[in-house]
C-alpha cells in the first residue's frame, strides 16, 4: 500500500509540474503502462499555446508529440487549421487513461471533438498509435 501511495504522489507531482510550469513549451517524456513506446512531448498548457498547437510546422520528429493540457476536464475539440502534417489525436482523462483516438485531416477546419470529458490530448504523427500498439484504454505515465 505504501508503495502505491508513493507512486500516486509521484504521478500527481509530475502532473502538477506540467500543469503549472512557467514555461509554455516545456519538454517531457511520456510512456505507456505495459508498453515499450515512449514519446517526447512538447507541452501546450496555456490558451495561446493550445490555440497555436502544431500550426505551420513542416515536420514533427519521430516519437514526438504535443501534449495539450486544460485546466479542467470537459469535452474538448481540436482542428487542423494551418496544419499540414497528418496527425492523430488521443483524448486523455485526468487519471491518464486514453479515452478516444482520432485521425485528423491536414488543413481541415472541422472540429474533432471528444465525446467524453477529457483533461489532456496528445497529437502525434498519424499512424504512431497503431504502429506502437497504443489504443483506447491504455494508460499514460508522465
Determine the pLDDT at residue 99: 98
The rounded distance, in Å, linking the Cα atoms of 6 and 74 is 28
pLDDT in tens, 96-128: 999 999 999 999 999 999 999 999 999 999 999
Q: How many domains does the chain have?
A: 1
Sequence-separated (6 or more) residues with CB below 8 Å from residue 75: 113, 114, 115, 116, 117, 118
**Cβ distance 27 to 42 under 8 Å?**
yes
Contacts of 14 (CB under 8 A, 6+ apart): 142
Q: What is the pLDDT of residues 18-33, one digit of tens each?
A: 444 333 445 789 999 9
With contact defined as beta carbons under 8 Å apart, do 91 and 127 qualify?
A: no
CA 108, CA 7: separation in Å to the nearest integer? 40
Separation of alpha carbons 72 and 117, rounded Å: 9
Q: How many other β-carbons are positioned within 10 Å of the β-carbon of residue 87?
A: 27
**Residue 23 neighbours by CB distance under 10 Å:** 10
Q: Grid coordinates standing for 16?
A: 502538477
Q: Containing domain of residue 15, as a range?
A: 2-141
pTM over 0.85: no
Q: List the CATH number of the domain containing 25.
A: 2.60.120.1140
Amino acid at each position: 500500500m505504501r508503495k502505491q501511495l508513493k507512486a500516486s504522489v509521484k504521478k500527481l507531482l509530475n502532473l502538477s509540474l506540467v500543469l503549472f510550469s512557467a514555461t509554455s513549451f516545456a519538454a517531457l517524456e511520456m510512456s505507456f503502462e505495459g508498453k515499450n513506446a515512449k514519446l517526447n512531448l512538447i507541452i501546450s498548457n496555456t490558451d495561446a499555446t493550445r490555440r497555436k498547437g502544431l500550426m505551420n510546422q513542416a515536420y514533427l520528429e519521430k516519437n514526438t508529440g504535443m501534449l495539450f493540457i486544460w485546466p479542467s476536464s470537459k469535452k474538448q475539440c481540436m482542428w487542423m487549421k494551418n496544419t499540414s502534417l497528418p496527425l492523430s489525436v488521443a483524448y486523455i482523462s485526468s487519471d491518464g487513461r486514453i479515452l478516444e483516438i482520432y485521425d485528423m485531416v491536414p488543413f481541415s477546419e472541422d472540429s474533432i471533438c471528444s465525446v467524453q470529458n477529457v483533461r489532456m490530448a496528445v497529437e502525434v504523427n498519424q499512424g504512431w498509435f497503431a504502429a506502437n500498439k497504443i489504443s483506447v484504454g491504455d494508460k499514460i505515465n508522465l
